[in-house]
Each structure stands twice: as C-alpha cells, then as structure tokens.
Amino acid sequence: MTDPVQTQAANAMWGGRFAEGPDAIMTAINASIGFDQRLYAQDIAGSRAHAAMLAAQGILSDSDAKAIGEGLLTVLSEIEGGKFVFSTALEDIHLNVESRLTEIVGEAGKRLHTGRSRNDQVAVDFRLWVRDQCDAAISGLEALMRAFLAQAEAGADWVMPGFTHLQTAQPVTWGHHMMAYVEMFARDRSRFQDARRRMNECPLGAAALAGTSFPIDRHMTAAALGFDRPTANSLDSVSDRDFALEFLSAASICAMHLSRFAEELVIWSSAQFRFVRLSDKWTTGSSIMPQKKNPDAAELLRSKLGRVLGATVALFTVMKGLALTYSKDMQEDKEQTFDAADTLMLGLAAMTGMVSDMAANREGLKAAAASGFSTATDLADWLVRALGLPFRDAHHVTGTLVAMAEKAGIDLPDLTLEQMQSVHAGISAEVFAVLGVENSVRSRTSYGGTSPVRVVEQIARWKAALA
C-alpha cells in the first residue's frame, strides 16, 4: 500500500515539472520527438519511396501517391525552413510527419501507412541516418589522413626520438611517426566502409514483425533508397540494431586513436618537450600566468571522445537483454548514437585542424633523439654484424657501455674508443659511424621501417590511394 506521506513528498520533488501527474510522466517517457526529429529527412525519403511503390503495385492510386509525394516535399520544406511545429503528443517523427501530411493532402495522407509499421519505418530511417554518418566519418577520416600525410612529407627525414613506456627507445623520423597515424586512421576508414556495406540492406516492408499481406515490392523500395537489397527476415529486420552497434564500435576505436594523438599533442607542446607548437586557433591562455599557452583543444578532445565509448556500452546494454522482436527499450538507441556521431565528427574536424596547423620543432626533435642512449640498439646490432657476437652477448656489452656513459654523464657517441675497448677489445673506430641518430634512422630499411627511403615510399602509396 502506498504511503500518502511518501506520495506527497514525491509530488513535491517532481510535481512542478509534471503537474498533470502520471499521465504527463508517461508522455515524457514515451515521446521521442525531442531527439528523433533529426531523422526527418530519412523519414520523408522512406515515405516517398514507400508511396511510389504502393502506387506501382496498384495498392495506392496514382493520384493519391502524387499528392503524398508532393505533400511530403512540403513537409520537408517546412521543417528545413524552421516553420514546422513538432508535437510531443504525436510522440515521434513518424506521426508528426504523417499528421502534417494529412493536414496538407487530406484523406490520401491516411493511406500512406498501408503495408508498413512504425517498427520497420524507424528501422529504415535509423539505418539511413547511420549510413549517412558512415559516409561522413569516411570523408572526415580521409581529410585527417591527408593532414598527416602533409606533415609526414614535410619531415620525412627529420629525426626524433621513438618511445616505449614514454622512455627514449630508438631514433625514428617525424615522417614515420606521422605515417603511423595514417595507418591507424586508414583502419578506421576501412571499418566504417565495411560496416556500411553490411548495413546496406533495407528493412522497409517487414511491417510490425511478420511482413505484410499486401503485394508490396520490397526490392523496389530498397533500390529507391540506395540499398543493395531488402533484408531477408522480417523478425530480424525490425529488431536488428547491429548496424548502429557496428558504427559505434568503429567510432569508439577511431575515437581512441584520436585521443591517443591528442595525448601526444599535450605532451609534445609542453615546455619540457617542445616538439611541436600549436597555433593560437587551438590553444588558450591562463587568467593568471601570462606565459601559458594551453593545448585546450587537444585536452577537450581527449575527454570528449570518451562519450563515444560510453554510447557504445550503453547501446550494447540496451540490446543484450531483448528477446525478438521489437521492444520499446530500443527507443534508447538514438540519443546515444546521435551524440557519439556528433562527438566523433567534431573530433575529426578539430584534429584535422590541429594537425594541419601544428609546427614541428625540427632541431628540438633531433636533440631529443640524440639523448637517452637512443642508439644503443644500433651499437648492439653492429657488434653482431662486425664482430660476430651472439646478440645476447652484444646486448650485455652494450649495456655495460651504457652504464659507463651514464656514470660519466655523457652519451654513447661521446665515449672514447679506448673506453669502449676496455669492455670489448674487438671494437674499432668504425663503431662511431652507427652511433649517430641520422645513420641510425637511415639504416632501418626493412619494409615498414623508419628509414626516410621507406617513409617516402609509404607517403607515395597513400597519396595515390587517397587521390
């Protein structure tokens, strides 16, 4: 039994917002027009294709189909012109459009819903919208890849430190580091392309869940909307949200890549590194410290992109407990996906701007590359090649020399030949040729290596692929 005191307390908490009681609460829970109005263009396109098909099949008269088609264009114009009034009482974009259509064309508007349900209607609208977002992401990724390619081409032979554990490891080239992100974002592009191919089937005509007894032509509507084919199972058609999950999964991996480079920009632009300088477009100052130039755009992206992963987890959580077919839970698929898509596109655009504008500090990169015993591996490799030492023995000799240099407060190339020979008598003056960072990067000629020759090859390959 409900405690009237508790009820009064609850009403005091939310009664001002929901003055009409439970009916208003149900309306607020049930209505989706506040967010699914973003599907208006897809909803109208799907309805126009459906009406044309109904007429072609003799289910709808040509005059009614013509009126519906023209009326839907009027609705589209009203929405795009900001003249359309969306109604919460009509719940969603489908009923809002259909209601206004009926006001415009009369009885014909009521015939539009023949042979379909809101279940397959929302499935095709949402699939069309997500397909458009895949296209937008692919385009955004290609612009970002071109920005990284331009940076790589400008500094294909600039030496910089390569890191593991954020500790100096071996010298690499700036061009090679930039090309690593081209490869990452190319994989992201391929994931969106692959997801787009798989989602390009049309659920329209599956109706509520079992198909329809009307003699519709699903292949015609699929072709009209740019799909490869209609979906093959009506139950799956209305309950499937894999297309959104695949988009979000690809978006999450892409967001992770964007966030990784944002982190590098934050580190690289610090006074301790000074590897890059970000333009004023992407930085802010401090209200109290005049010397500060904060990489706020990179920091905000690093944070914002977590929302994409959050949306992915949220939709997986919605879908994991749903038996076939449609459940109202699935109304929660859109807000998360909309927000993730918006966040991803903002991230791609901002990162493209930052990469295009950033200026690398060539001398600072080279100085950093020469520190931290970065050519130790080159020394070990030389001991193997020149003296025939087993690599484990060469590793031990090199480690001893690094310890000697560290104790003396110098780098490996600054050790004298006599000091080196005190560790291994076979070391000759030829060793100094491999200890310079320029020589180190030039020697890494294996496929995919950091040698400028290999970097230039990869740049050319990707420029041709994106042409």
For the annotated catalytic residues, the residue numbers are: 165, 286
Pairing of strands 276-277, 229-230: unpaired
Q: For residue 387, give both structure tokens.
A: 């003296």
Residues 6+ apart with CB under 8 A from 386: 428, 430, 431
Q: For residue 180, give both structure tokens.
A: 């690593």
DSSP label of 378: H
| Distance in angstroms (rounded) separating the CA atoms of residues 213 and 289 | 73
Cα–Cα–Cα angle for 92, 98, 102, nearest 5°?
145
| Distance in angstroms (rounded) separating the CA atoms of residues 39 and 462 | 35
Q: Name the nearest CA neighbour of 112 among 91, 97, 129.
A: 97
Residues 6+ apart with CB under 8 A from 380: 391, 394, 395, 397, 398
Q: Name the nearest CA neighbour of 275 among 352, 359, 350.
A: 359
CB 165 within 8 A of CB 192: no
| Distance in angstroms (rounded) separating the CA atoms of residues 410 and 395 | 19
| Distance in angstroms (rounded) separating the CA atoms of residues 175 and 177 | 5
